[in-house]
Amino acid sequence: MTLHRLDVDTRSGVDPLEVIPFEQRPTPPDRPWVLTNMVTSLDGATAIDGLSGALGDDDDRLVFRALRAAADVILVGAATANSERYRLPVRSAEVDRARAEAGREPRPRIAIASGSLSIDPTLEIFTDPTYRPLIYTSTRAPEDRMHRLLTSADVVTMGDQHVDLEQMMRHLANEGHRTVLSEGGPSLNGQLIASDLIDEWNLTLTPLLVGGNAARPAHGGEAAPRSFRLDRCWSGERAIFGRWVRQNSGVEVG
């Protein structure tokens, strides 16, 4: 496996937007391909003072943009959506072109999973009348929260106490979505692992030691080891960017 340089400004560098949206992602039976995007410090911290942005840099933001360009749906848990103050996916001529060439809609749909509907209704993603996020919840969600969110989002009940992730993925497939990008947080990723729903793991490793009590990129749920293979590895100015795909996924690892 060759370590390529991540640099969009030189001929020898790699432009993530020219690569990531066009990588192999064969659709599994009855559900979309599920990929992740997480950033950690050297000691595994996923946040500093509760926010992941402090771990990233300009290179990380390039990869972040390219991974979103590869997704039909961006999936996030309520805690992450609230703490990171989720906004509408940013559009640009370059992103629009990559999405069009890959056969995707101009803007991915954001889906939030929350069994209790503990979602801040003032988030910016709810302010555009032309864009309705998709919310998956459970039958235990309070009715008042559901009614308030229904004014600006589509709410689907999937499960009793918690969101049934397998049922959610089948619903997304029936809606015509081929790729789902999980941006966490760690609890959601842990549930996806326990349900054996992750096909591709993208991880940015940034050269910081953080300590503290920040969560791993995935935690919680039943321990369920899965085998993955390294497909690509890029170096940025500071960070390392890796893509791993599950064994027997049908992807030809380079």
Tens digits of residue pLDDT in 85-144: 999 998 999 999 999 999 999 999 999 999 999 999 999 999 999 999 999 999 999 999
Query: Which pLDDT band, with edges at 50, 70 and 90, does 220 fall under?
Result: confident
Output the pLDDT for position 10. Answer: 47
> Between vectors from CA 183 to CA 178 and to CA 186, what angle results, nearest 5°?
125
Domain assignment present for 253: no
Average pLDDT, the chain: 91
Cα–Cα distance measured from residue 82 to residue 96, given in angstroms and rounded to the nearest whole number: 27
The set of residues, in sequence order, having a beta carbon less than 8 Å from that of 243 and lying 6+ positions away, is: 23, 200, 201, 202, 230, 231, 232, 233
Domain assignment present for 254: no
Whether the pLDDT of residue 8 is over 60: the answer is: no
The set of residues, in sequence order, having a beta carbon less than 8 Å from that of 84 and lying 6+ positions away, is: 51, 52, 53
Backbone angles phi, psi at 65, to 5 degrees: -65, -40
Whether the pLDDT of residue 240 is over 80: the answer is: yes
Q: pTM, whole model, 2 decimals?
A: 0.92
Mean pLDDT calculated for residue range 9-34: 87
The set of residues, in sequence order, having a beta carbon less than 8 Å from that of 157 and lying 6+ positions away, is: 136, 137, 138, 139, 141
Domain assignment present for 251: no
Output the pLDDT for position 2. Answer: 47
Cα–Cα distance measured from residue 161 to residue 238, given in angstroms and rounded to the nearest whole number: 42
CATH number of the domain that residue 161 is part of? 3.40.430.10
Q: How far is CA 213 from CA 47, 49, 157, 184, 230, in A?
A: 9, 10, 33, 17, 28
Mean pLDDT calculated for residue range 161-170: 96
Query: Contact, 38 vs 203, CB < 8 A?
Result: yes
Domain assignment present for 134: yes
pLDDT above 90 covers a percentage of the chain that reads 76
Cα–Cα distance measured from residue 215 to residue 22, given in angstroms and rounded to the nearest whole number: 31
Output the pLDDT for position 73. Answer: 98
Domain that holds residue 24: 3-246
* Range scoring the smallest mean pLDDT among 44-48, 91-95, 180-184, 195-199: 44-48
Output the pLDDT for position 14. Answer: 84
Domain assignment present for 123: yes
Domain assignment present for 174: yes
* Range scoring the smallest mean pLDDT among 105-114, 147-156, 220-229: 220-229
Output the pLDDT for position 253. Answer: 77
Q: Which of 159, 193, 150, 200 has its CA nearest to residue 28?
A: 200
Query: Which pLDDT band, with edges at 50, 70 and 90, does 1 fall under?
Result: very low
Domain assignment present for 252: no
**DSSP-assigned beta bridge partners for residue 34:** 180
Domain assignment present for 40: yes
Whether the pLDDT of residue 221 is over 90: the answer is: no
Domain count, the chain: 1
